[in-house]
Chains A and B, each alone.
Chain A
Amino acid sequence: MSVEVSRVESSASAHDTPPSSAPPAFRVADAVVEYDRKPVVRGVSFEIPHGEVVAVLGANGSGKSTLMRAMLGVVPLASGSVEIHGRPVRGFRDWGRIGYVPQRLSVGGGVPATVREVVASGQVARRRRWRRASAADRAAVEHALESVGLTDRARDSVHELSGGQQQRVLIARALAGGPDTFVMDEPMAGVDAANQQALARTIADLARSGATVVLVLHELGPLAPLIERAVMLSDGVVVHDGPPGGLLSSSPHLHPHTSDAASLPAAPALEVPLRD
């Protein structure tokens, strides 16, 4: 096991927990999202107070990823509304506060990029134009790499990494911008047990520093002690919203350990099973 897990200090750049009067990190009201006129998220409402750690659960295809995209304005709403930190998503400007971990690394046209380049690109909303990276910027990138145990792979191309390592690159990219509001879509998928533990410690530190963390998960796993609330989606509607206690063990239609890749037609052409 090559990964040395360093003790992680708060990766969020010191956002103190705001006073309780702060607006919720997310306010989703009657959100409907359609692909090709087919509703995939069908009238979802909830609020996520600032500083809460929330798991979003549900079977493959239940609309979890779509809901995350809608919460960040990545896909448009057919109806309903989303507010981020008290502002409608269209009018929200403080994107440096948001750290998004998509479900998988997009390969694009195949031009190589190093792990460090991808991680540093997470600072795009914060960096000033024409300026070279400041010492603080660079330190944040190093810290993010360290948090996910990829310091020794920083100069490798992201295309050369395994699925689990790519997942950790995506998490480091979100950390590097120093946001206080995280949306992570299956951040643990494909990550081995030891690194899951390390990521759980990183997320625990984020939570302790007052960050809001919304995670799509297939199983609570090592994150279980952190999760204050679980929202369960089924076929695009919320079927449970409350404490996570016992939820996962009693839901046979969940398939922990199964990657979404198997059921999605999109990217899997690029993924092959690891041989050993």
Chain B
Amino acid sequence: MTDLFAYDFMQRALIAALLVGLVAPAIGTFMVQRRLALLGDGIGHIALTGVALGILTSTSPIFTALIVSAAGALLIELVRVRTRTSGDVALALLFYGGIAGGVLLIGLAPGANTATLTSFLFGSVSTVSTEDVYAVIALAVIVLGVLAFFGRELFVLCQDEEVARAHGLPVRLLSAVIAITAAVTVVIAMRVVGVLLVSALMVVPVAAAQQLTRSFRVTVALAMGIGVVASLGGVSAAFYSGADISPGAAIVLLALAVFAVSVGVGQVVRRRRGRGPVPQKGAEAVPAGTIPQTKPGSLDPGSPST
């Protein structure tokens, strides 16, 4: 274990991975509940255009990615609300626009080609610089701060937008808060897992956690825990394998493994609970002939990713 921390680059990599694992599932829980599980993916593709723009103009790619993906996230919200385009079509438009923009711009940059983008596509945690670490810390503090500040309102909004309006909550502002926070998270995570897999860290730990929980608060906390374990585990696995394993891929596969285990454990727990004292209380005693009872059917546990 000691040799893991013996290298400065590994220390930086582990700090970055820890923060990404912590932050991505936190905002991810709200996105999943708002049925925007693929928002992170859409923003990731747009961030690619931002990266290319940074390389083309010789500015920090993280900075330009931040600006462009935040603008793109707001655009997704606008397209969703203003036009008769459903959320997934709005996302698709930005997927393609983002990739095309990135490839086009990088081609214009002298001395760079699509290979330059590869480290952003798949992440390159071993080249994280000290400045990158400071940027990641700052962004993580901002994201967690925003979630702490708006958490109560965001919970209501993601639960039911109509009810949020009937509480007088600023629905448009809060939607923008989610979009921009997601964009910031994508840019944080980009260096570690890459834009192609960034959305996975926002969604998979949440999908895993919700197999086991009954409370929103606990789901957020557990998802963050799973995210941290997967991130640190993936980076460590990459280190011990030499350069053979991509850290981004290892992180996501670890998270998926946790998801698979959670599904199994969750089913066992629910079945056991089902045999317990709950059902007698659970079924509302209905005298024969009254209102037809409905009950939420088996809620598809995989729904966040669809």
B: residues with CB less than 8 A from A are: 29, 31-37, 149, 152-153, 155-156, 158-160, 162-163, 165-169, 206, 210, 213-217, 219, 278, 280-287, 290-297, 299-301, 303-304
The smallest beta-carbon distance between A213 and chain B, in angstroms, is 15
B37 contacts across to A, CB distance below 8 A: 109
B295 touches A124 (CB 8 A): no
A102 touches B160 (CB 8 A): yes
B284 contacts across to A, CB distance below 8 A: 162, 164-165, 190-192, 195
A112 touches B210 (CB 8 A): yes
A259 touches B160 (CB 8 A): no
- Cα A105 to Cα B296 in complex, Å, equals 10
**A74-B166, A93-B168, A159-B296 in contact; A111/B210 too (CB < 8 A)?**
yes
Proximity string of chain A (100-125) to chain B, C-beta cutoff 8 Å, 1 when within and 0 when not: 10100111111111100110010011
Proximity string of chain A (162-204) to chain B, C-beta cutoff 8 Å, 1 when within and 0 when not: 1111100000010000000001000001111111000000000
A110-B32, A114-B215 given; 17 more Cβ-contact pairs under 8 Å: A95-B166, A106-B163, A109-B158, A111-B32, A111-B216, A112-B214, A114-B214, A117-B155, A117-B216, A125-B169, A157-B215, A190-B292, A194-B285, A257-B291, A259-B294, A272-B294, A276-B283
Stretch at the interface among A25-33, A44-52, A148-156, A232-240: A148-156
B166 contacts across to A, CB distance below 8 A: 72-74, 95, 98, 100, 102, 183
B282 touches A161 (CB 8 A): yes
**A95-B168, A98-B167, A162-B295 in contact; A111/B285 too (CB < 8 A)?**
no
B293 touches A190 (CB 8 A): yes
A110 touches B283 (CB 8 A): no
A129 touches B214 (CB 8 A): no
**A98-B167, A108-B159, A192-B285 in contact; A164/B214 too (CB < 8 A)?**
no
Q: Is A136 part of the binding interface, using a Cβ–Cβ cutoff of 8 Å?
A: no
Contacting residues of chain A (246-276) with chain B, CB-CB under 8 angstroms? 257-259, 261, 270-274, 276
Q: Which among B34, B166, B290, B304 has the highest number of chain A CB atoms within 10 Å?
A: B166
A118 contacts across to B, CB distance below 8 A: 159
B33 contacts across to A, CB distance below 8 A: 108-111
Q: Is A92 part of the binding interface, using a Cβ–Cβ cutoff of 8 Å?
A: yes
A109 touches B294 (CB 8 A): no
B303 touches A109 (CB 8 A): yes
Contact size range, A:
35 or more
- Cα A117 to Cα B154 in complex, Å, equals 13
B36 contacts across to A, CB distance below 8 A: 109
- Cα A124 to Cα B169 in complex, Å, equals 9
B281 touches A74 (CB 8 A): no
A271 touches B295 (CB 8 A): yes
Q: Which among B149, B162, B281, B287 has the highest number of chain A CB atoms within 10 Å?
A: B162
- Cα A93 to Cα B162 in complex, Å, equals 17
A sample of 20 cross-chain residue pairs with beta-carbon separation below 8 angstroms, ordered by A number, consists of: A98-B167, A108-B33, A108-B158, A110-B300, A110-B304, A113-B155, A114-B214, A117-B155, A117-B216, A117-B217, A121-B155, A121-B156, A124-B156, A124-B167, A164-B284, A190-B293, A194-B285, A272-B296, A274-B283, A274-B293
From A106, A125, A271, give the contact of B167 (CB < 8 A).
A125
A2 touches B159 (CB 8 A): no
Q: Is A69 part of the binding interface, using a Cβ–Cβ cutoff of 8 Å?
A: yes
Q: Is A160 part of the binding interface, using a Cβ–Cβ cutoff of 8 Å?
A: yes
Q: Is A135 part of the binding interface, using a Cβ–Cβ cutoff of 8 Å?
A: no
- Cα A156 to Cα B215 in complex, Å, equals 8
A102 contacts across to B, CB distance below 8 A: 160, 162-163, 166
B303 contacts across to A, CB distance below 8 A: 109-110
- A-B pairs, top 7 by smallest CB distance, nearest first, are A95-B168, A100-B166, A274-B293, A272-B297, A157-B214, A163-B294, A106-B160
